[in-house]
Amino acid sequence: MRRSVAVRLSALLATGALAAATGLAVSTSTASAATGGVTGYATQNGGTTGGAGGQTVRATTGTAIHQALCSRASSSTPIVIQVEGTINHGNTAKVSGSSCNTAAGVIELKQISNVTIVGVGSGAVFDQLGIHIRESSNIIIQNVTVRNVKKSGSPTSNGGDAIGMESGVRNVWVDHTTLEASGGESEGYDGLFDMKDNTQYVTLSYSILRNSGRGGLIGSSESDRSNGYVTFHHNLYQNIDSRAPLLRGGIAHVYNNHYKSLNESGINSRAGARAKVDNNYFEDSKDVLGTFYTSEAGYWQVSGNIFDNVTWSSRSGDNNPAGPNPTSNTSVSIPYAYTLDAANCVPGVVSQTAGANKGLKVSDGSCTPQNPDPTDPDPTDPDPDPTDPDPTDPPTGTNLSLGAGADGSSKADGTSYGNVRDGNLSTYWSPSGSTGSVSVKWGSATTVSKANIRLASGSGTIGSYRVLNHDTGAVLASGSGSGVIGFAPTSLKKITLEITSASGTPRIAEFETYAS
C-alpha cells in the first residue's frame, strides 16, 4: 500500500531515563485497577477481569514487570502490576520462570492469563518499547502511554507495534491509553494497535492514537479472517494516514470515536469484515469509511455519524469509499448493552476522557464526562489505601479451626502443623524456608467464608499468599500480609494457606477459620 503522506507532528514526550535497578515492589494492597468498567466485546466470552483479586506489585522498570509475571505461582495466577516511570530498552531484560515466557526489549505477555498492567502515580511511559500479547487471555492494559515503537532503525521492538496481539489471544481490554508514533513506515514505525492470527473479544476504549502512518488492523492478510469481535469506542484517532482501523473478516463495533485528520483513509472494512459504525465524529479527513486497496469487499452498518469537512475520492478499481453519502450494506447484531453519546458532542467528551493520565473519566451517554466508580480505587493515586481488612479486628463467631486436624507441605524444625489450630499464640508453624503451606481439615464438609492469619512474635512477614479449597484446588483468595481474609462461603473438608513469598521466615501462630 502507498503511504506517501508524511506525519506532520512529532511525538509529544521526550525520551526519559530511570535509574532503578530492578524497580519491583510488593504492595500491601490487593487489586487496585478500576476493572469494573469493562465494556464492549471484552465483556463477552466469560468477561475480562485481568488480575482482579490477585496480588498487587509496583514496577518501575520493564525487568520488574517481567519479574512480577515470573514470580507468580503459575502462569494463570491473577496479578495487578502498577507501573510508574519510563520503561525502555535499557531497563527491560528477559526474566525466566515457570509462570512466564519473556524477552528483552519488549514487554512480553506470552502464554499467560489474568494480568492487569496499570499506570499509577506520575504516569507510565513505554518509550520505544512495545507490549506484545501472544497466546494469552484475560489481559487489561490501562492508563499507560506507549510511544515511538519501531520495526526498523534503532532500537526496534514488537515488530513496530505499540500494542500487538496474535496467536489465539482472547479477552483483552485496553483502556485510557495513549498510543503514538512520530511518522509512518518510511520512518520505521508500523501499527499502533494490531490484532491477528485468531485474536478475539477485545475492547479499545477511551484511548488516543495519533501521529502514525497506521492506526491498527484486525487480520494480517486477506486470508487471516479468524479475528474479530472487537469494540472501539470513545477513542481519538488524530493525524493517522490509514487503518483506523483496517478490518479483515470478523465483526467490529465502532462508536463514539473522534476522527481528526485521517490523511488517506479511515475505517477500511474488507475481506468480508462487517462493521457497525455508530455516532462517530469524522473531521478534516479523507475517505473515512469504505473498502480500500483490495477487490475483496467488506461491509458496514452506519447510523448517527457526523462528517465534518470530509472529502471523498471517486470509486475506481480497488478504491471503494462509502461516501459521499454512506449507507448501510449489511446489518450487525451487538450482544452487549451500551449507551451512545450524541455524535455532535463526541469531540468534547473524547477530549476530556481519552488518553492516559485523564483520571479514568468515562462518558455516561449524556455527553457528560464522569469520574470512575468511587468503589474503584484510582490507579493514578501513588499510594492507594490497602484493601486488606484490619488484622486487629478478627471475625466474630466460633473459630472452626479449634479441634480440627492440620497438615502441610513442609515445616521447620521445632514447629508443628497442629500449632496453627490450638488457640495458643505462643506456639506456631513455620515452613522450612520462606515458602510452604499449612492446612486445616475436618472429617465432614464445613462451610468457611473467612480466615484470620495471626503471626507469632518474631515472625517474618508474608509477601504473598493464596488460600485454596484443597478439595478442588480452587483459589479462594490471594493477597499479601496477614490478618482477616474474606471469600465467598465455601463448603469444603480442607482449606490450605499457601505462602508463595515472604520476608524472613513466617511464624503462623493461628490459622483461624470462620463461617461468617
Q: What is the set of active-site residues?
A: 243
Contact at 8 Å (CB) between 144 and 168?
A: no
d(CA 357, CA 505): 40
C-alpha cell at 380: 493514578
DSSP letters, 271-288, are: TT-EEEEES-EEEEEE--
List beta partners, residue 85: 124
d(CA 291, CA 314): 12
Of 405, 415, 389, 346, the closest CA to residue 479 belongs to 389
Q: Residues 6 or more apart from 173 whose CB is under 8 A from it?
A: 38, 39, 42, 48, 50, 139, 140, 141, 142, 202, 203, 205
φ/ψ (deg, to 5) at 349: -65, -45
C-alpha cell at 365: 451517554
Q: Residues 6 or more apart from 7 whose CB is under 8 A from it?
A: 181, 182, 183, 184, 187, 211, 212, 213, 239, 241
Alpha-carbon Rg for the chain, nearest whole angstrom, is: 25
Helix (H, G, I), strand (E, B) or coil at 186: helix
d(CA 446, CA 451): 13
Of 501, 496, 481, the closest CA to residue 72 belongs to 501
List beta partners, residue 281: 258, 306
Of 389, 362, 123, the closest CA to residue 256 belongs to 362
CB atoms under 10 Å from CB of 502, counted, come to 21
CB atoms under 10 Å from CB of 96, counted, come to 9
C-alpha cell at 466: 493464596
Q: Is beta strand 289-292 parallel, antiparallel or unpaired with respect to 319-321? A: antiparallel
Please report where in the chains the cell 483502556 appears, as a residue: 175
Helix (H, G, I), strand (E, B) or coil at 12: coil
Contact at 8 Å (CB) between 437 and 499?
A: yes
List beta partners, residue 321: 290
Of 302, 298, 512, 306, the closest CA to residue 419 belongs to 512
Of 126, 171, 237, the closest CA to residue 35 belongs to 171
Helix (H, G, I), strand (E, B) or coil at 485: strand
